[in-house]
Structure 1
């Protein structure tokens, strides 16, 4: 592994750096505040591959003209439990935040409600879209399709994006349970980070130029052909997300890359669906007790941990001690300010 020179930044310094890069790329004040906060939370909680390392990608999407840096999303309630959004070619997180209060009200009114959104970009961890709903007492499930780079089991060319999904639910007396995961073995930015840091991945995660599975991040980046997690099972999840994300929302399919390629961008304008459920409207008054019991069965069960709880340990450490950032990355980001 290559020795990496690093510098420790406080979370406030991360926020200020992210904000300055986004503003320099042309992003407006409200939007840059929101995306900067997502960068901070990614550095704070992990995976840090979705934090400061994502900033050059955000910036390129604006400077190339691919994404709208001053988006004003619009919404239409097309059924009692369905809210449809158009993100005005901006980032999905901005649209989701603007729709959140209405989605919560719809879920509490109907028991379940969905928000679909097209004409949007999504980079970064998906859990930041579900966690606020769990904090409001709701159960949430989110999916979004992304740039094609995942090869279906047995295939030879990418069809799906890394197509992540996220789940969140309230937990009595504690932080919500929140997790997200890609449909690929490893997220693209984790592969990029491994390449930048000079080490192999823990396991084969993509195809090398010879068509064989490889743990070499540089070989995988050359083919941009990632493997689904769990072989055919992960490919099936990627298919599900392509339907629930792109097809339901009317977003761009993962393979439709013409516009993306014209701008040299690293994402497609996919589709996202966010489902919110109010557990108090599902007829089980003991919902919280059930969640507590499930968690109790995992706690102390060998080295098992509740999904997503690793972020809480990371959060406490980074809030106290800041985060280490490679000086090479800092130099790159300074050039973007």
Structure 2
């Protein structure tokens, strides 16, 4: 593994760097603040692959003309329980922020609500798109499709994106349960991070140039052919995300790469669907007790932990001790702006 020197930064310093870089790239105050928050939260939660390392990709998307740095999304209610968004070729979170209050209100009114969004970009972890709903006592399930680089089980070429999904639900007296995961064996940015740090992957996550499973991140990045997790099971999840993300929302399919290739971008303008549920409207007054029991059965069960709870330990450490950030990355970001 390569020798990596690091600096300790506070969360405020990380956010300041992110805002400075995004503003210099042309984002307005609203959009820049939203994306900077996500970058900071990623570093806080130990999700380094989606934190400061993602800033050059945001900048590239603006400088190439692929994404709109001053997007003005449109949100419309097209059915009693459905909101539909047009992201104005900006980032999803800007549209989602406009829809959030109405979406929560519709879920509380009807028991369930959905928000689809197209003509937008997504480069962040999905957990931050669902967590706020769980903090308000709601359940949230989100999925978004991404550029094709996952080979279906038995296939020879990529069809799906890493196609992530996220789930969040409230937990009485504690932080919500929140997790997100890619449909691939590993997320693309985790593979990129391993390549940058000169280390092999813990398991075969993609194919090399000979078509063989490999743990070499550089070999996998050369072919852009990732493996689904759980073989055919992960491929089935990727299919589900493709349908509920791209098809339902009207976004680009994962294989629709022409526009992305022309701009040299990391992502496609895919589609996303966010489903929000109010458990209080589903008739089980003991919902909170069920969640407590489920989590109790996991905790203390060997080394098992509730999905997503690893982030809480990282949060506490980041709040008190700051975050170690590669000195090389800090230098790169300062040169960008």
Q: Per the shorter chain, which TM-score range?
A: over 0.9
Contact 2:75–2:98, Cα closer than 8 Å, also in 1: no
Name the structure 1 match of 2:19: 19
Offset at residue 178 of structure 1 (A): 0.4
Name the structure 2 match of 1:153: 153
Pairing 1:213-292 to 2, within 5 Å after superposition: 213-292=213-292
SS at structure 2 position matched to 1:8:
strand
Unaligned runs of 5+ in 2: none
Deviations 1:19-54 (A, max 9, x none): 111111111111001100000000000321000000
Instruction: Give the whole-Å Cα distance in 2 for the aligned partners of 1:322 and 1:112.
Output: 39
SS at structure 2 position matched to 1:267:
coil
Deviations 1:278-313 (A, max 9, x none): 001101000000000000101100000000000000
Instruction: Give the whole-Å Cα distance in 1 for the aligned partners of 2:74 and 2:260.
Output: 23
Offset at residue 98 of structure 1 (A): 1.1
SS at structure 2 position matched to 1:270:
coil
Pairing 1:106-255 to 2, within 5 Å after superposition: 106-255=106-255
Name the structure 2 match of 1:299: 299
Offset at residue 212 of structure 1 (A): 0.3
Instruction: Give the whole-Å Cα distance in 1 for the aligned partners of 2:277 and 2:26.
Output: 37
Offset at residue 5 of structure 1 (A): 1.1
Offset at residue 223 of structure 1 (A): 0.5
Contact 2:244–2:272, Cα closer than 8 Å, also in 1: yes
Deviations 1:308-332 (A, max 9, x none): 0000000001111111111111111
SS at structure 2 position matched to 1:335:
helix
Instruction: Give the whole-Å Cα distance in 2 for the aligned partners of 1:96 and 1:118.
Output: 11
TM-score w.r.t. structure 1 length? 0.99
Deviations 1:93-132 (A, max 9, x none): 1111110000001001110000000001001110101001
Offset at residue 156 of structure 1 (A): 1.0
Contact 2:150–2:227, Cα closer than 8 Å, also in 1: yes
Name the structure 2 match of 1:58: 58
Pairing 1:28-39 to 2, within 5 Å after superposition: 28-39=28-39
TM-score w.r.t. structure 2 length? 0.99
Contact 2:299–2:305, Cα closer than 8 Å, also in 1: yes
Contact 2:87–2:95, Cα closer than 8 Å, also in 1: yes
Offset at residue 172 of structure 1 (A): 0.4
Instruction: Give the whole-Å Cα distance in 1 for the aligned partners of 2:11 and 2:111.
Output: 37
Query: Do residues 313 (structure 1) and 283 (structure 2) align?
Result: no
Instruction: Give the whole-Å Cα distance in 2 for the aligned partners of 1:293 and 1:185.
Output: 30
Runs of 4+ in 1 over 2 A off after TM superposition: none
Instruction: Give the whole-Å Cα distance in 2 for the aligned partners of 1:109 and 1:2.
Output: 54
Instruction: Give the whole-Å Cα distance in 2 for the aligned partners of 1:64 and 1:335.
Output: 18
SS at structure 2 position matched to 1:244:
helix
Instruction: Give the whole-Å Cα distance in 2 for the aligned partners of 1:24 and 1:76.
Output: 31
